[in-house]
Amino acid sequence: MQIADRLNTRIRGSGERTLLFAHGFCSTQEVFDRQVEAFAPHYRTVTFDLAGFGASHPSSWHPERHSALEGYAADLVDLIDALDLQRITLVGASMSAMTGLMASVARPERFEGLVFVSGSPRYLNGDGYFGGFDRESLDGFYALVGGSVYWRKAVTDMLLNLQGAETLEDVARSVDCTRTEVAYTAARAIFESDCRCWLARARHPVLVTQTRADEAVPEAVGHYLAQALPDAQLAFLPGRGHLPMRTQPEALNALLSAFLERTAPRAG
């Protein structure tokens, strides 16, 4: 089975430029449905399910390979090569922001730009850096995911942060369908990562965006990314939560459209 099939890849549209959408923790490619609907008429759009999530084939996930973000980045590079994707703007949500950056460093000739949606290079506080989590809170989260039947509700609440609003059923469903072993391994890969050393290696323009009320990625992280990346634009989205592509799709689409216009190659 080829990697595109293992990762349940879907290609829509036929534009010269490619929008490659990569979802985050306990999510699926369906989280980008509103973006695909908006951009497929003018771009080739590519979505897929990360190994272990959504409708990816069980054989795509390996506990050793995917115990670090580099394993997911390697999957992304393999998918780009297999599909011979060119002129890519990668829209990476959450964990896929940093794996997308890693892929762009590995294959810079294939990329035009990067969009980080609720991405973070480091979640653990320390040495003057504020990522939003201390060691005690992270260890508590790992214990919850690894040993409690209630972890799925806790993750859904963290992703949405809607303060009593009705939970989006598709988001809750994607969390509910994630195996505990996958969630625990991915959580440690994400929250123990430190990708700050990758930021200076970015060779493409980056749009950094998130809401100001994100339980996983505080506002300070967006400012840090904008300062640490060589060519970055920071734009905060209205609303709350970690999934603005679902909760604020029109606002995100407007930012993405403007970024694509800014990064389009100029004639002559």
Mind listing the domains of the chain with CATH numbers? 3-263 (3.40.50.1820)
- Residue of 49, 66, 118, 214 marked active site: 214
Question: Mapping DSSP to helix (H, G, I), strand (E, B) and coil, where does residue 148 land?
Answer: coil
Reported in sequence order, the residue ranges of 63-205 that DSSP labels E, i.e. its strands, are 88-93, 111-117
- Residue of 94, 96, 118, 193 marked active site: 94
Find, among 180, 249, 237, the residue nearest to 36 by Cα: 249
pLDDT given at position 130: 97
- Predicted TM-score (pTM) of the model is 0.95
Confidence of residue 268 (pLDDT cuts 50, 70, 90): low
Cα 246 from Cα 35, distance rounded (Å): 9
pLDDT given at position 62: 97
Tokens of 239: 């609303």
Higher per-residue pLDDT: 34 or 15: 34
pLDDT given at position 162: 61
Find, among 201, 196, 146, 156, the residue nearest to 176 by Cα: 156
Confidence of residue 135 (pLDDT cuts 50, 70, 90): very high
Higher per-residue pLDDT: 116 or 153: 116
Cα 104 from Cα 201, distance rounded (Å): 9
Asked if pLDDT for residue 154 goes beyond 80, the answer is yes
Based on the residue annotation, tell me whether 242 is a catalytic residue of this protein.
Answer: yes
What does the pLDDT look like over 171-226, one tens digit per residue? Answer: 888 898 899 999 999 999 999 999 999 999 999 999 999 999 999 999 999 999 99
Residue with tokens 């214990």: 143
Asked if pLDDT for residue 92 goes beyond 80, the answer is yes
Based on the residue annotation, tell me whether 214 is a catalytic residue of this protein.
Answer: yes
